[in-house]
Amino acid sequence: MKYPIIGPLKLSGNNLLDAYGNVYCTKAETQYYKECNYRGYKYYATMTDVQEKAVAQLLIYLCKQHNIPKVFKPNADQIFSSNKEAQDFKGIILHTSVRKDKFDWPLEMLKGVQDKMVEKPYTQVCKDPAFDLKFNGIPDFTGIFK
């Protein structure tokens, strides 16, 4: 199973290579990558469900902590047209929203993260008071994912 977030891949024979030239997977292992023409690359390593949940969990937490609406900038891979447009936008942006020299995940590959950002009502898993004391002060995201 592939876990690191790798990003773009280059085809070399029947293998897909990471940015360092290491074999990530074969072209036959389609569960590990997606074809997506973006910023000069045709193949991108996919995130696992666990990785998508972790990114979604972090975004939910940051949005709550900083009162940020949980919406991605439309056309987030395109740079803002002006400073005013950037300052007026309220939500989640990518590196590519503000700098032409940066590189992010293709938007269509962030769909899984966006889908996992839908919150559900909190459900306490453990009724033991010692559990609550042990984890006092640590954000608990149990039960917020689909």
**Domain layout of the chain by residue ranges:** 1-46, 48-146
Q: Mean pLDDT by 10-residue block, N- to C-terminus, for the chain (146 residues)?
A: 69 93 94 86 86 87 92 85 92 85 73 75 46 45 46
Residue 111: CB atoms within 10 Å: 11
DSSP state of 109: G
C-beta contacts of 1-6 below 8 A and 24+ residues apart: 1/48, 2/32, 2/45, 2/48, 3/48, 3/50, 3/51, 5/45, 5/47, 5/51, 6/45
| pLDDT in the model for residue 48 | 82
Rounded distance between C-alpha atoms, residue 125 and residue 96, angstroms: 39
Are residues 54 and 33 in contact, defined by beta-carbon separation less than 8 angstroms?
Answer: no
What pLDDT, on the 0 to 100 scale, is given for residue 124?
Answer: 45
